[in-house]
Amino acid sequence: MEKYNQLFDVIVIGAGVMGSSTAYQTARRGLKTLLLEQFDFLHPRGSSHGESRTIRATYKKDYYCSMALESSRLWEEAEAEIGYKVYFKTSHLDMGPSDSEFLQEAIASCQTNSIPVRVLDRSEVFEEFSGKFQPPEGWIGMVTPQGGVIKATKAVAMFQTLGVQSGAVLKDNTEVVDIKKDQSTGEIVVFTRADEKFRAKKCVITVGAWTRRLIKTVRGITLPIQPVEIAAYYWKIKNGHEDKFTIENGFPTFGSHGDPHIYGTPSLEFPGLIKIPIDEGGACEPEERTWAAPPDMLDSLRECIRERFGGLVDSNGPVITQSCMYSVTPDKDYVIDFLGGEFGEDALVAGGFSGHGFKMAPVVGRVAAELVASGTAEGVALTHFRIARFEKNLRGN
């Protein structure tokens, strides 16, 4: 217990991918760091567990493109430091109707950020991927080289290990119930369910689906961050076609921007299976989840798989279903900002990553570490991620 009875430079609350990345980044800068997690490390109850996440640089908003490019570089730097891979590169395909607002703006964003992009008509998509994708009439595709798969739980473990190697202290099964500012010392005091208290000069709150609740308790404001339950499905590739859907044979990460909006990754974590979920879910509270998929959603996904994948994927039903949560803001932009009030710039919140944040964890950790170390961070358009955007308009940006 003695290692916890000290004044830390920074306490990071929440050991998902964002908190673990932040703790690694603060520790490697020489800051005495404590990382707290309410459940077991690497638990499956939040947003950072599971086998895979997509990494891509195709966004409507320019500022995410540059963040994705930096994150790709930082993933590789972390891999080199730890000595094993969590990032498996491939190309990325987005497809949808030729008048799709997403596709047109994503193409423009790629061009603005000097990301190579090729626009294909329907027949060219079919030819490029040897019939594995069969877009409807009037659809186009855009292909970029910046795609890939991140092994999710393995990546979180990587950041935690690197954090420990850099001197961070990690403690799980420690639920934070309140945070206060000691006016006599100026220190941040973190209170836990077990009546423990930890002290630090700064803190970073990265608690995912629990963000709204904790910020309401600590600061008295309600951030419009809604937990959403998402189901990830794995489908069986038909016998004899398994190799066609691997990274080694050029299969991309992909998004299909029709109705429904689906996305997926190559066959990697489970041989012979391919991950194809729908990018939507139902609002929930973290402790009140169904852990099951809505039947009508699954019906539309089956039909989509029948139509899009040339009969090479068994669309009768998924063979594996996994549940996780998004933490969604109304504008789908992140929240990365100082908490303000009595905390001023001594407490930072990073949340609301809206289902597209995992890939950005290295850059979010870097930015959070710089903000607590010096009050400023370069290279990210933080003006889009301010809490104040919700004060006059709950829709944010």
Mean pLDDT of the chain: 96
Distance between CA atoms of residues 104 and 101, nearest Å: 5
Cβ atoms within 10 Å of 394's Cβ, excluding its own:
12
**Residue 171: its H or E element:** strand 169-171
Exposure of 226 by Cβ count < 10 A (0-12 exposed, 13-18 middle, 19+ buried)?
middle
Q: Domain ranges in the chain?
A: 2-47+154-224+331-390
Span 148-172, mean pLDDT?
98
Nearest to 39 by CA among 13, 60, 68, 78: 13
Span 119-138, mean pLDDT?
96
pLDDT on residue 396:
80
Domain 2-47+154-224+331-390 has CATH 3.40.1180.10: no
Residues 230-261 have pLDDT tens digits of: 999 999 999 999 999 999 999 999 999 999 99
Distance between CA atoms of residues 393 and 162, nearest Å: 40
Q: Is the pLDDT of residue 82 over 90?
A: yes
**3-state SS, residue 201:** strand
pLDDT on residue 19:
98
Q: Is the pLDDT of residue 1 over 70?
A: no
Residues 355-383 have pLDDT tens digits of: 999 999 999 999 999 999 999 999 999 99
Residues 193-238 have pLDDT tens digits of: 999 999 999 999 999 999 999 999 999 999 999 999 999 999 999 9
Residues 299-318 have pLDDT tens digits of: 899 999 999 998 999 999 99
Is the CB of residue 231 less than 8 Å from the CB of residue 281? yes
Which residues make Cβ contacts (< 8 Å) with residue 260, sequence separation at least 6?
A: 278, 279, 280, 297, 300, 301, 304
Distance between CA atoms of residues 126 and 132, nearest Å: 7
Q: Is the pLDDT of residue 295 over 80?
A: no
Residues 38-80 have pLDDT tens digits of: 999 999 999 999 999 999 999 999 999 999 999 999 999 999 9
**3-state SS, residue 11:** strand
Span 169-195, mean pLDDT?
97
Token pair recorded at residue 147: 């795609």
**3-state SS, residue 234:** strand
pLDDT on residue 95:
98
